[in-house]
Amino acid sequence: MLPTAATSTTHAMAMLRAAHPDHELLEFCDSLIDNEMTLLGGMPLVGRTWQNVAALLAARVLQLRRVCLDLATLGYSRELTATSRAMLSSLLAFTFLVHGTSYAVRDGKAVRYLTHQRASRRKLLGYLVRSRWISASDAKAEDAVATTAEDGFLGAAARAGIKPLRVGPNDRYWTGYDDKTLFAKMKARR
């Protein structure tokens, strides 16, 4: 059987990981992420609106953590800044979403996150088309699939009387705060 690109990449990663000076730490982080992904994969997406969105944000944090770990393994430590920042921003978004004692407020924040993400996704897809990373028809198809899923979710939220809730004053951000202000409000600046 001929090796596929995926098995070749996996083999190359394993060789790089074994030769890395911090390979024990990287292996431990790999194991931790794998266990978290297994746990997350076993979580049923039934429950309150905010719980489903929290699971999506947790998956995003894990995905970005995996990318950071792989970049570190490959020796791209200087390129980690943007990805690490995205991971921390997603982690803070998760914390912001689940913060508080009212399920109604959490549900409102979750619906706001989803409605805001639609515009963000479309901006990203437009950029990918302009950069010629994907075709316009592929971007349109990807957006249609995501929009259908969101419409179903948002329709169910509307029938349940859940309205999008922006906590801060700025409509540009789903939370209503830019990252710096949100980090300060969540006492996470340091």
Tokens of 5: 């690109």
Q: Residue 116 contacts by C-beta under 8 Å, 6 or more apart in sequence? A: 173, 174
Domain boundaries, the chain: 1-98, 102-171
Higher pLDDT, 31 or 119: 119
pLDDT in tens, 29-46: 677 677 666 766 666 666
Distance between CA atoms of 123 and 77, rounded to whole angstroms? 28
Rounded to 5 degrees, what are φ and ψ at 90?
A: -65, -40
Please state the separation of Cα 34 from the chain's center in Å.
16
Q: What are phi and psi of 39, to 5 degrees?
A: -60, -45
What are the backbone angles phi and psi of residue 168, rounded to the nearest 5°?
-90, 180
How does residue 125 score in pLDDT terms, banded at 50, 70 and 90?
A: very high
pLDDT (mean) for 144-173? 89
Within 10 A of 8 (CB to CB), how many other CB atoms are there? Answer: 11
Rounded Cα gap, residues 121 and 145, in angstroms: 12
Q: Residues, the chain, total?
A: 190
Placement of tokens 């004053």 in the chain: 169
User: How many CB atoms are closer than 10 A to CB 49?
Assistant: 23
pLDDT in tens, 58-74: 888 888 888 888 887 77
The answer, yes or no, to whether residue 1 has pLDDT greater than 60, is no
Average pLDDT, integer, range 107-129: 90
Q: Is the Cβ–Cβ distance between 44 and 54 less than 8 Å?
A: no
pLDDT of residue 116: 86
The CA distance from 95 to 56, in Å, is: 13
